[in-house]
Structure 1
């Protein structure tokens, strides 16, 4: 095909995906950048398309001070999305932050409606790419983990499963989901930024306070009507100084599940992801758990019909 004709088709495909029109999968490039109007602002995002028609949509939210592209590099979720035929989107927060309800972030202090923005962005992309209702999910790291929990609490009608990493909820932030939500959580016991046991969080924008990781699990077990004690297992030790415990609650309403990975000696990191800062600053990254792969499998197993 002549180069000019190929270029014209590529430009047309990008416009079809980003200009409010229906997606044509055969002509689309695999990576796109887009803007979305929300709250009188143009919000930006990066998107990675699988080879075939996607079977689910994943929003992946960066931490405070980060970007969508930074989250993409940290998690390597593109490769997982390709393997499982998922469309993954990396939105950019306002001033590199999300309004997760704790009150300290730039987005919170400027009263940004990130719940509205992310739910509306998900609805647009679900429509553009013919993704079935109940196949929309959200994950995130740190500030993005807090935001993932808030989306599960506030918009359970949109997100059928969430996967917060190194993030819980702010003290006093309500969580009363309209329906059960499947939850996958991971948190390091040696996290120096978002304490495993809850307390002061000194993040972008100032001081806030978080609930503990176990309190977050208990909130979701209660919201999902889980019965009995969770089962537990210890993942294989890979000799990196961390030990990963998996706690699994399966006897929950509407076939939901609450899975919690307690990473002993784990830091403020993405399991299996990049060690993005020295261990002396953020603690170690466990190699006993491939977080991105586990999250993708969990999401697909908990899509709503």
Structure 2
């Protein structure tokens, strides 16, 4: 039996509060600050987001859109991924949009926004345009990442708006089998997937999400799709990351150089579950599978973005 995203999101929110209140030294993960809550009107619909701008940064080194899992919020995603700290260290801004019904119209047809025809690609694109103009971000340095449903949405953004996003880093989210993906230009992709994911099956097929069942691409098929789109060569020998003794092992499989200087990198976490690598373990392993400590997905994704700007 596969767990529904609807159970996972509230658990994340509750656990983040518990981490903030109880865990020594956890405030960097659980209480990101300062916050700038805001809204943007897209097609007559008010959409909310949280924005983090590092103090004293006049010329941001980029913009990262960080997308939450279904059943969660942008603030939950910030707390889970500690992306504010990475932004502060490297001088970029990060925005955490909120999905309608705590989900995304990611093309699988299994969410409320998908069924209602919500234009999440339009929402996020308009938000990016606004932030790029306001903070004078180089348009070749706009990126997207996300967990679970947020990972599905990050892939959809790259499929639909490759002109806007130079690179994406989806975690534990691929694409619906019927989601069209014919981007007009290459997009660099860093995909992170656990082989023991109990929610989004590594081998693809039917999964049960917050809004119902959907059929999805396997992680290897998703990586192969991007490899073909980007005209990549065969993979180099896998880079085995050092073991941390947590029962997981990570292979970094790189396809490069691809068209227009892009790359596709597959972070295959053998024995890994439905988690954000390097994040605190706020959910039980029986719910989401084993967490890996072999790398930090937040720092790893920024390093990839920084190296694959346009």
The answer to whether TM tops 0.5 is yes
Q: Do structure 1's residue 292 and structure 2's residue 298 form an aligned pair?
A: yes
Aligned partners of 1:150, 1:85: CA distance in 2, in Å? 27
Look up the match of 1:137: 143
Look up the match of 2:277: 271
Q: Shift of residue 111 of structure 1?
A: 0.7
Mapping 1:148-227, distance limit 5 Å: 148-227=154-233
Q: Shift of residue 30 of structure 1?
A: 4.6
Larger of the two Rg values belongs to structure: 1
Task: Check whether the contact 1:75–1:273 (CA below 8 A) recurs between aligned residues.
Answer: yes
Q: Shift of residue 228 of structure 1?
A: 2.5
Deviations 1:60-80 (A, max 9, x none): 000010100000011000000
Deviations 1:80-111 (A, max 9, x none): 01111110000000010000000011110111
Partner secondary structure for residue 88 of structure 2 = helix
Which residue of 70, 93, 104 corresponds with 1:98?
104
Q: Shift of residue 55 of structure 1?
A: 1.3
RMSD: 1.0
Aligned partners of 2:235, 2:294: CA distance in 1, in Å? 24
Task: Check whether the contact 1:100–1:108 (CA below 8 A) recurs between aligned residues.
Answer: yes
Partner secondary structure for residue 303 of structure 2 = helix
Task: Check whether the contact 1:228–1:251 (CA below 8 A) recurs between aligned residues.
Answer: no
Task: Check whether the contact 2:235–2:253 (CA below 8 A) recurs between aligned residues.
Answer: no
Q: Do structure 1's residue 117 and structure 2's residue 123 form an aligned pair?
A: yes
Deviations 1:125-144 (A, max 9, x none): 00000001111100000000
Mapping 1:13-32, distance limit 5 Å: 30-32=34-36
Mapping 1:64-103, distance limit 5 Å: 64-103=70-109
Look up the match of 1:232: 238
Look up the match of 2:20: none
Aligned partners of 2:34, 2:307: CA distance in 1, in Å? 25
Look up the match of 1:56: 62
Q: Do structure 1's residue 256 and structure 2's residue 262 form an aligned pair?
A: yes
Look up the match of 2:42: 38
Partner secondary structure for residue 238 of structure 2 = strand
Task: Check whether the contact 2:84–2:94 (CA below 8 A) recurs between aligned residues.
Answer: yes
Deviations 1:246-285 (A, max 9, x none): 1011120111010110101111000111223100110111
Partner secondary structure for residue 185 of structure 1 = strand
Look up the match of 1:241: 247
Q: Normalising by the residue count of structure 2, what TM-score does the alignment of the two structures yield? A: 0.87
Task: Check whether the contact 2:67–2:96 (CA below 8 A) recurs between aligned residues.
Answer: yes
Q: Normalising by the residue count of structure 1, what TM-score does the alignment of the two structures yield? A: 0.89
- Higher mean displacement: 30-39 or 284-293: 30-39
Q: Shift of residue 194 of structure 1?
A: 0.2
Deviations 1:166-187 (A, max 9, x none): 0000011111111110001100
What count of residue pairs does the alignment treat as equivalent?
276
Q: Shift of residue 154 of structure 1?
A: 0.6
Partner secondary structure for residue 193 of structure 2 = strand
Task: Check whether the contact 2:235–2:256 (CA below 8 A) recurs between aligned residues.
Answer: no
Q: Shift of residue 38 of structure 1?
A: 1.1
Partner secondary structure for residue 231 of structure 1 = coil
Aligned partners of 2:216, 2:226: CA distance in 1, in Å? 16
Q: Shift of residue 231 of structure 1?
A: 3.1
Partner secondary structure for residue 96 of structure 2 = strand
- Higher mean displacement: 222-231 or 265-274: 222-231
